Amino acid sequence: MPEDDSRLERSPLSNKDKVTEIRVDPQIRMRDALRVEAKSEPAPVPAGEVTKETQIIAIYGKGGIGKSFTLSNLSYMMAQQGKKVLLIGCDPKSDTTSLLFGGKSCPTIIETSSRKKAAGEEVEIGDVCFKRDGVYAMELGGPEVGRGCGGRGIIHGFELLEKLGFHEWDFDYVLLDFLGDVVCGGFGLPIARDMCQKVIVVGSNDLQSLYVANNVCSAVEYFRKLGGNVGVAGMCINKDDGTGEAAAFADAVGIPVLAAIPADEDIRRKSANYEIVGIPGGQWGGLFEGLAEQVADAPPQQPNPLDQDGLLGLFSSDETGRDVVLQPASASDMRGADYAPRESLEVIYDAV
């Protein structure tokens, strides 16, 4: 006759059989935490009366064009003007805030979230948000090279921000720094989901940066056709050498130039040394004061993006090679000079 399992479970254990401590693998703790998180329902959308409007502005541009430089100085100037500003870096390189903090890198949301989950702890505001002279700043971060999707990292970062109360934070301006030359959905999040009121593009007098700016305008136009409300407020020209292509682009797509930051050696040197130049009363203070006013007041507009020929038309043919004629290749070009066409084996039926 089989033993009664329930009776055995109720039998008292000897001291040597009692478990005094259970050590749980950190990976198991993290797995369990992720399962609980996946089952939890999202917080309801706030339905109370809106008492304050925060301007959320997404800034896009080609990698290396100077978005971080522009945003660090812009946010610093806004704070000096008495505005409460939050700067969020949405670039996997996590370098948006480095100039603001004198070259120091702050812990990213993605990295901090992974570390905290492994330890069974919750992420706190003070773990990921830091401030300097009235500017609040944080970095979303992203996976290491070849180890994940940067766009998915952006989405995960914003999901965590929402859990931390993003929609309840009390700021005058939230500035989002996004790569424009990455086309995956995560980087288009503010435009696709109406997370911002307007977009600003940063470009220069070179074809690649204007190609990226034009792509951003195309994305805005596409999502507006689907019912989106985001528009482009204008363009900031960085490293302006006076040749005029960026200004011509802005005029062609129907957006204003908010500011033109010159290609000046003093700015280049100070930026390389992680120095803020947008200081009231400083040499470049007036430039960033004007930019701050334009960013605040410029309304979102629907741009008219250019086609490839229109974009190339902003530059001389000596620079772009747009006078080149496309010559179709032949089968003999691909297979060698001795290639002889073979008769087709296709069966042709006479019409009945």
Cβ-based neighbours of 30, under 8 Å, separated by 6 or more: 117, 118, 120
Which residue is catalytic, options 67, 117, 198, 239?
67
Q: Is 181 among the catalytic positions?
A: yes
Q: Which of 83, 93, 116, 163 is catalytic?
A: 93
From the candidates 62, 117, 198, 270, which is the catalytic residue? 62
Annotated active-site residue 93? The verdict is: yes
Active-site residue flag, 67: yes
User: Which entry of 91, 181, 240, 270 is annotated as an active-site residue?
Assistant: 181
The reply to whether 18 belongs to the active site is no
**Catalytic machinery residues:** 62, 67, 93, 181
